[in-house]
Structure 1
Amino acid sequence: MSETAFPAAFVERTASLLGASETERLLDALNGESPVSIRFNPYKIAEKPEGEQVPWCRYGYYLDRRPSFTLDPAFHAGAYYVQEAGSMFLETIFRQVFPDDGPLRVLDLCAAPGGKTTLLSTIAGAEGLVVANEPIRNRASVLAENVRKWGIGNVAVTCDDPSHFAAFGHGFDLIVVDAPCSGEGMFRKDRAARDQWSLRNTELCAARQRRILGDVWPALRPGGVLVYSTCTFNTAENEDNVRWLAGEYDCEDGGVEVDPAWGIVRGEAAGIGTFRFYPHRTRSEGFFAAAVRKGDGRRKTNVPKPKKTVFSDLSKKDVAAVSSWTAQPEYMRFAAVNDTVYGYYGRAFEAVRQLSGTLTVIGSGVRMGQLFGGRLKPDHALALFHDLVRDRTPRVDLDLPAALDYLRKKDIDATPFDEGINLVCHEGLPLGWIKRIGHRTNNLYPKESRILQL
């Protein structure tokens, strides 16, 4: 393919970085087909998918072709997430910088649509808490839906400017800044990005990225790690920003190593290890990452005084009614926000309470449902929670055509269902609720999540 398919200034700058021959190989790769990769949810499925494993992520797999994910009930059940393979490298970083299992507080600062958040949710486990932030409201709603679908229950979704997290001084063990960037690494996946690229835009992106890093640095605890990543190639948005961070703050290399066979280009900036994914070297889109450990200066963790009280306690009777829906209620706490009950793993509850008093939290924990006369009307999120007691209500496993009709929110034949609330499944995976009323059913699948494709 001719280089003229790309902005001339991009080609010239990339050639100064890689050399003419390797740039030609990169451009050829960017004009090729993107690999298809998914990451399965070990909390929901025991068997690994068929296909070649992504070498830097135990849950990631390449597919031979791109199926219609929209028409796969397992996708809607949160059994897997469609994610670009390079960004799954976050798992390798996490496992190496935090080798010992333990409760961690993680902030995914620029989180939508949720690929890294759901990965962090998986590896943080029930003992950890992931705060997933997206400042743009409509993107935050998409993030919240993907978190709900993933169904682990250890995530709080916020919609705030990155600067608001500085108030939680030293409050997080890991901060992930997958910064908004010029998107050069996505030129293959998104051809329109080539037309939108400009040198001026890369400069604006680099300045915005530095502002974000400076805003959030105070929220990282001493000894904690900040992962900075982009999906672009130029040094201004990558190594130069790592050098800026190292020059402004007391930090050191995170200590991450990679297998040379993976094809990742290992470099350094101001003594901080950097990792570059090039589509002609790795089976991924373009990606850059660096893990920066904060210096060990000591200061008491700061918790801002809450501006509002969000949670209210439940009576013992109501707690008993709600806890019967979860398989391990002894590890959970339940509280109400207005007329809706939420469930949280015990260690995370107080942290979510603190966040909710200051930040704009649009979703957290497990939205259990509403109580009427001591009985729970279950929320859709509860059906997708991995620790749901599945025989708490009658359960019906639908075949593929009926499952797709359910996901399209169509009318469903009442014959297989018992009177009242039923759990709808497909091949054992919960999809949501349906209510039988006499000879008809009320499809309770959320209208905003329904499949529109025929």
Structure 2
Amino acid sequence: MASCDVTPAGEAPRTSGRSFRLVCSPSEVPLVEALLGATGHVAEPEPFSPWCRRIVAEPTALGASLAARFGCIHIQDRSSMLPPLLLDPPAGARVLDMCAAPGGKTGFLAQLVGPTGFVLGNEPSPDRLATLRQTLFRESLANAATCSQADLSPHLPEGAFTHILLDPPCSGWGTLDKNPQAAKIWSGEKVAPLIALQRKLLATAANLLAPGGRLLYSTCTTNVAENEDQTRFALESLPLVPVPLAPPAGFVFEAPRRDDVSGVLRVDSAASAAQGFYMAFFEKAGGTPVVREDRELPGAPVPEKALRAAGCDPAGLPAGAVRAFGEKVFFLPAGAAMLPAGFRFQGHALGTYRAGVFRPSARARLLVPPAGPAAGLNEEALCRIEALLAGQSLPAGDLPPRPGLYYRGLPLGFLARKGARLLWSDR
């Protein structure tokens, strides 16, 4: 099959190093890059997004770096970054990620819609749901909520979302370098149940999409039956019209494998140094957007004064509310008010609330106040931060009971104080 090279003239596709995404506010980008540089990790920008980077020097495993441990970066195959970018939800949008685990695409969508936006990540598998929630928690993406429904149709109203990402279970033939058994496991008629599931999910997505809303369908397989054939199914059986995709820079794309399919993207894995991915873009035709009133967010309100008494600064939270469910405290994004009463979902874990006292999680980075002399430890070098992570304690001096930990002003989390010593504890 012939391929079309859409890499800009004079620029060869990158062929070495892993890709990752910065997970921080725009103002924190230089600080996160400094944190990476302090551990010897050197990266260059990816050409398709200002958030994405590719490692060119990795003296130690990137996943074990301090930037990764504190959730300031997300390691992700470069092809996997494309679906959120191509869906391109605007700031403030309300987005559904229908098959969300392990969370890389959900998290990227949360970054793209910004603090006034909302992303609902659905993951039917309980085991994979835990991974999704841990990813969003570690990376402090509080404007995303999670749920677990095998079929969303009975639970969410028609036309509820203006943007939907559907990256369904697939045969994974585009990931054979990492999963060489995929082609054997999903060979011949064995792939039929996946094809049926993908069509059911496409129909659900079309139902939940608002008129004029946009749907990005993607897979990590090279199988025509799960790619071009599903695109034709969507166009012939659902109220969807095609939207041609513009090829992002830095990739090589193969031609579609059906003559009656155009405007889709099929990543050439070897030439792009990335997984094989397929992407098709649709818009829902006709109709009038449904106007719905938001409802009151569930849970018991946690007073702002309780957060401030614990040394927290709620100004770092996106639009939404802090709610207690028993002793556990979650942040619920404002966009979650669109979800119907009785719909089970989970917000972003912040800590505990007992007898009127709030205790933030060590990883509640969004609540860490700006760095200052009385706010906590603001380290210029890594040695003391590394010592804390290794289980050592440091003198507390006159710092508060739950001081912040910073690297050159970049908030990393909350420390625990025991007597005259400071400790790092994820509990």
TM over 0.5: yes
> Secondary structure at the residue paired with 2:330?
strand
SS at match of 2:226: coil
Amino acid at match of 1:258: P
Q: Which region of structure 1 is more displaced relative to structure 2, 389-398 or 288-297? A: 389-398
Name the SS of the counterpart of 2:222 in structure 1: coil
Equivalent residues of 2:376, 2:406 under 8 A apart: no
Which residue of structure 2 lines up, in the alignment, with residue 88 of structure 1?
81
Distance between the aligned counterparts of 2:316 and 2:422, measured in 1? 31
CA distance, structure 1, for counterparts of residue 151 and residue 395 of structure 2? 49
Counterpart mapping for 1:114-193 below 5 A: 114-164=103-153, 167-193=156-182
Corresponding residue of 1:333: 321
Q: Determine if the alignment matches structure 1 residue 235 to structure 2 residue 224.
A: yes
In terms of mean alpha carbon deviation, does 261-270 or 102-111 score higher?
261-270
Q: Is the 8 A contact 1:170 1:302 kept in 2?
A: no
1:401 to partner: Cα distance? 5.4
Q: Distance in 2 between matches of 1:54 and 1:102?
A: 22
Deviates more, 1:107-116 or 1:430-439: 430-439
Which whole-Å CA distance do the structure 2 matches of 1:348 and 1:167 have between them? 14
| Shift in CA distance, 215/73, structure 1 to aligned 2, threshold 3 Å | same
TM-score (norm: length of structure 1): 0.77
Matches within 5 A, 1:198-277: 198-258=187-247, 262-265=251-254, 267=256, 273-277=263-267
Conserved? CA contact 1:314–1:335, under 8 Å: yes
When residues 231 and 35 of structure 1 are mapped into structure 2, their CA distance, relative to the original with a 3 A threshold, is: farther
Q: Distance in 1 between matches of 2:252 and 2:154?
A: 36
Q: Flag the 1:326–1:275 CA change in 2: closer, same or farther, 3 A.
A: same
> Distance between the aligned counterparts of 2:316 and 2:411, measured in 1?
18
SS state at 2:67 partner:
helix
Aligned length: 404
Structure 1 Cα separation of the partners of residues 55 and 184 of structure 2: 29
**Counterpart among 313, 322, 344 of residue 360 in structure 1:** 344
Q: Is the 8 A contact 1:402 1:412 kept in 2?
A: no
1: distance between equivalents of 2:347 and 2:196? Answer: 32
Work out the CA distance in 1 between the residues paired with 2:87 and 2:367.
23
Q: Secondary structure at the match of 1:264?
A: strand
SS at match of 1:280: helix
Q: 1:399: how far off? A: 5.3
Moved more, 183-192 or 260-269: 260-269
Q: CA deviation at 1:127?
A: 1.3
8 A contact 1:185–1:233 mirrored in 2? yes
User: CA offset at residue 438 of structure 1?
Assistant: 1.8
Partner SS state of residue 281, structure 1: helix
Distance 1:146 1:186, change over 3 A: same
What SS does structure 1 have at the residue aligned with 2:300? coil
Residue 422, structure 1, aligned to residue 415, structure 2:
no
* Alignment partner of 2:22 out of 32, 40, 43: 40
Deviation larger for 414-423 or 273-282 = 414-423
Letter in 1 for 2:173: E
Amino acid at match of 1:333: A
- Higher share in helix: 1
CA distance in 2, matches of 1:269, 1:436: 66
Q: Tell me if the contact between 2:171 and 2:183 (Cα under 8 Å) persists in the aligned partners.
A: no
Cα RMSD of the aligned pairs, angstroms, is 3.5
Matches of 1:195 and 1:349 in 2, distance apart?
41
The 1:210–1:404 alpha-carbon spacing in structure 2 relative to 1, beyond 3 Å, is farther
| C-alpha displacement of 1:165 | 6.2
CA gap 1:379/1:169 in 2 versus in 1, 3 angstroms: same
Structure 2 residue 43 is matched with structure 1 residue 55: no
Identity of matched residues, %: 23
The offset of 1:104, in angstroms, is 1.0
Q: Which residue of 2 aligns with 1:13?
A: none
Cα 1:79–1:377, aligned 2, differ >3 Å: closer, same or farther?
Answer: same
Aligned-pair CA distance for 1:190: 2.5
CA shift for structure 1 position 228: 0.7
Which contiguous aligned blocks of 4+ residues in structure 1 show a shift greater than 6 angstroms? 302-306
